[in-house]
Chain A
Amino acid sequence: MRVVLYSLLLLLVFSCVDAQVIDLQQADQKYAVNYPSYREDRDGTLSFKEVVGSAKDFKIPSLPVPDFLGNLSKAIWYRFAALNNTPETEWYLEIKGGYMHRLTLYQIHPNGAIDSIALSADKDFAARPVRSNNLIFPLRIDPGEQTTFYLKATSKALIRPSMSFTTMHQLYEDSIPTSYGDGFFTALAVALLLYNLFVYFSLRERVYLYYIGYIFITILHTNLVAGHVLAIFPWLDFLNTNLLLPLLAFFSVLFTNSFLQTKRYAPIIYRIRWLMMLGYTVPVLFFIAGEYAMAILATSVLMFMLFIYWLLAGILAYRNGFQPAIYYIIGFGALIMLNMTFELKIVGWVQENYWIDSALYIGSALEAIILSFALASKINFYKKEKEEIQEQAYQQAVNFSRELINMQEAERKRIASELHDSVGQKLIVIKNKILRFSKGGTAGFQQKTEELAENVADAIQEIRSISYALRPYQIDLLGLTQSIKSLAAESFEAADIVHTLHIDPIDNIGPADKQINIYRIIQECINNIVKHAEAATASVSIENQHNQLHIRIADDGKGFDAQAATGGFGLKGIRERLHILNGAIKMGKAVPRGSVIDIDIPVK
């Protein structure tokens, strides 16, 4: 027993030289424990005595908060000392590490007395001496006293205790902005989550569910790491980073592929999505098997791959023309940036303050906001895309009917000229031959042949009528203006309708198909008047002004019901042709009686 005590004292002297000593100078200050010496305990089997007995096995870390990622030791021992230069005797060691498992603190007083407290980060919340989100170890350090501390840490996740000496006064003051800030950002994310839940209910689009799933897990994970989850829901003690991060990755991959429409805009990302999601079963399996160190290592590697996956997906989709991807890049970019800021704190490159400490919260909230905005803008994008498709379909329909009408007109023209030029010409030759033939004969013979010639003339006249009806010969021969004039004059004269015509020269108004369409529209309007209106007078006016063709066709007939008339085939044809010409028609009643049709057609 004596030997043991003696050797312990010896060791203490030795350790005093070696350990990092924190100089506690003021009671209203927080003193971070940076660069604590550490010792790896591979199987977690070393006892306190063994550790204290071999102080030379401790190493000075290269980081202010040593990080044991990729280290497969079951436990890590830390050693540091504190010298109390204040009258305050009640001190606390605060350890941020909601993700760790069990921490045992040994305090060796100058008189050789040893205190130890063991706290569990993931359960027994009620048993904590100070029930707070962080682990708080109450200590007694007498004024002027220097005591040495040993901390044994085991973790089901990362072993990374961020420690500081502080007083209750300071702890209380510090917790206010932290709690407020963490609460604020959590509430913000929850609000957006609810908003998108409502959007999901109205739109029934899966991308909103993925977003909700992703944001929910993000909020849960951030609060778990900060220790709030256990503080409020102690029964959630089975949750662990190694369970939540794979779930988070799962939702983020679903969201990414759904939001960015990777099937179309980033096929590579789309193809490897199952690989990414399957990869995340690895840390879960390790965790279930109790291989916590392996689990956290796998999680870290996969998280790094996930970051690259996100960025690549965003950039590829954006480059392939999916514009909302920019929000995605900014959103996930913000999260990655703030995560890195948090890491910078760990390696001691940036000073710790609230903003840095809560970087994960801010990052998550920012991402939630930006992605929510992106989802809202996606609705617009969809709407625009839908409109574009509709416009395209409309254009296609117009093109199709234009083709159809052009083909119809071409066919009519072909038949008309075939009749007129071929059959008509032949009949003309025949008639001329008969006329010549009859010259020399007797009176009786002449009479017979002249009758024959009359028959041929009738046939010629019939062919003329048919071919004129199929295709107005005037358009090619006399131009559109004269064609319309003749059309109106002949139609109205045949029906005994007194008429006035004011027709601007429009011969060079556009290509042949445009001209024939204008002609056919007017023809149909005039036909309607002649057939149905019972009019005494009618007028046709065409003005070509300011790149606009104003056509007005009026009569004093019985008028027509524009509503009832829309079903007619003739009006259908007019509308069809007007669609092609980008024109508009307005049908109204004339005063005191009759109808007025106004047609506007844009021309160059």
Chain B
Amino acid sequence: MMTQQKIKVLIADDHPIFLKGLQEVIEEDQKLQIVFKATNGTDAINAALNRVLDIAILDIDMPGANGLQAAEQILAAKPEVAIILLTMHKAKDAFLKALEIGVSGYVLKENAVIDIVNAIAAVEKNYSYISPEMSSFLLKQKNRQASGASELLETLTNAEKKIVQLIAQYKSTRDIADELFISEKTVSNHRMNIAKKLNLSGKNSLLRFAIENSSALT
């Protein structure tokens, strides 16, 4: 077996001490290689577009372009790059915006040393990753917004509704499979059918729909 290629990572944060700490944590993993450290959004974008890259870890609050803008531009040019956003913002709207852009991971800075490794491991397998503290925070949020999606939801089967409910609880495909005692493949098939029925397309679109309409699901 030939030697495994290292995963190429870009990290960007305007706070030097945090950046250094992050670098140390990532480099502890032999499979990972940091190819660029940026201290602002513009540098991060330029580096991401000009280098071979697997993962870009971006802080949201950066001078130049902010993390969301950087992610959007990088994904527009290189959709294959997995983006992990690092942020101080424990807030639903920033999170939803990140989902909309199509990022793969949303990691709270305060838990970065623990979560970043898990996040990298998840996105490497093409899964999404959300800091556990973030998802529990989001779950605590009430949603009293009158939903206009009830009719659409009626087109779903009971099994599909159940899956949407679990997605709304920020559960991964794997978690859902385990919980419902079905295979991951079956869950993926369900997800595809649901997305079709609800006219959803694009990365994270089903997750966003489920979160936004969680009040209509219960």
Docked-complex contact B146 and A498, CB < 8 angstroms: yes
B93–A485 touching, CB < 8 Å: yes
A306: interface (CB < 8 Å): no
Q: Are A474 and B112 in contact, CB atoms less than 8 angstroms apart?
A: no
**Across the interface, do A473 and B146 meet the contact criterion of CB distance under 8 Å?**
no
A422 CB, min distance to chain B CBs, angstroms: 9
Do B18 and A425 touch (CB < 8 A)? yes
Interface residues of B in 1-36 (CB under 8 A from A): 15, 17-18, 21, 25
CB-based contact A432/B144 at 8 Å: no
A432 to B26, CA, bound (A): 13
* Residue of A421, A425, A498 ringed by the most chain B CB atoms within 10 A: A425
Contact of A489 with B by CB under 8 A:
yes
- Is the C-beta of A264 less than 8 angstroms from some C-beta in chain B? no
Contact pick for A493, options B89, B97, B143, CB 8 Å: B143
**Which B residues are in CB contact (< 8 Å) with A476?**
66
Do B18 and A493 have beta carbons less than 8 Å apart? no
A429:B89 contact, CB within 8 angstroms: no
Nearest CB on B from A71, distance (A): 95
Tell me whether B92 is interfacial, beta carbon within 8 Å: yes
Please determine whether B92 and A425 come into contact, CB atoms closer than 8 angstroms: no
Answer whether residue B190 sits at the interface, using C-beta atoms and an 8 A cutoff: no
Is B68 an interface residue when CB atoms closer than 8 A count as contact?
Answer: yes
Task: Judge if B49 is at the interface, Cβ distance under 8 Å.
Answer: no
Residue on A nearest B148 in the bound complex, by CB = A500
On whether A497 and B144 interact (CB within 8 A), knowing A464-B88, A477-B68, A482-B97, the answer reads yes
A432 and B113 contact, CB distance less than 8 A: yes
How many Å lie between the Cα of A429 and that of B20 in the bound state? 10
Name the distance in Å between B169's Cβ and chain A's nearest Cβ: 17
Q: Does B52 contact A (CB under 8 A)?
A: no
Complex Cα distance A163/B25, Å?
125
Any B CB within 8 A of the CB of A420: yes
Known: A477-B68, A493-B144, A500-B146. A432 touches B92 (CB 8 A): no
Contact A431 B145 (CB under 8 A): no
Q: Which residues, 118 to 176 on B, are CB-close (under 8 Å) to A?
A: 141-146
A-side contacts of B92, CB under 8 Å: 486, 489-490
* Neighbour of B21 across the interface among A429, A490, A498, CB < 8 A: A429
Residues in A444-465 with C-beta less than 8 Å from chain B: 456-457, 460-461, 464
Interface string of B97-113 (1 = CB under 8 A from A): 10000000000011111
For the complex, count residues of B whose C-beta is within 8 A of A: 29
* Contact B113 A436, beta carbon cutoff 8 Å: yes
The reply to whether A435 and B144 form a contact with Cβ atoms under 8 Å apart is no
Residues on B with beta carbons closer than 8 Å to the beta carbon of A468:
91
Enumerate chain B residues within 8 angstroms of A537, measured Cβ to Cβ: 146
Of all chain A residues, the one with the shortest Cβ separation from B60 is A477
Tell me which residues from 49 to 66 in chain B have a Cβ below 8 Å from any Cβ of chain A: 60-61, 66
The answer to whether A421 and B61 have CB atoms under 8 Å apart is yes
Rounded to whole angstroms, the CA-CA distance of A498 and B25 in the bound complex is 44
Which residues of A lie under 8 Å from residue B146 when comparing CB positions? 498-500, 537
Question: Cβ of B94 < 8 Å from any Cβ of A?
Answer: yes
Please tell me if B191 contacts chain A, counting CB pairs below 8 Å.
no
Q: Does the CB pair A460–B89 fall under 8 Å?
A: no
Are A428 and B110 in contact, CB atoms less than 8 angstroms apart?
A: yes
List, in ascending order, chain B residues with CB within 8 A of A435's CB.
Answer: 111, 113-114
Report whether B143 and A428 are in contact in the complex, using a CB–CB cutoff of 8 Å.
Answer: no
Residues of A within 8 A of B109 (CB): 428, 432
Decide if A492 touches B144 in the complex (CB within 8 Å): yes
Partner of A474, one of B90, B93, B144, B145: B93
Q: Show 10 A/B contacts (Cβ-Cβ < 8 Å), sorted by A.
A: A429-B21, A432-B21, A432-B113, A433-B21, A435-B111, A436-B25, A473-B91, A493-B142, A494-B142, A500-B146
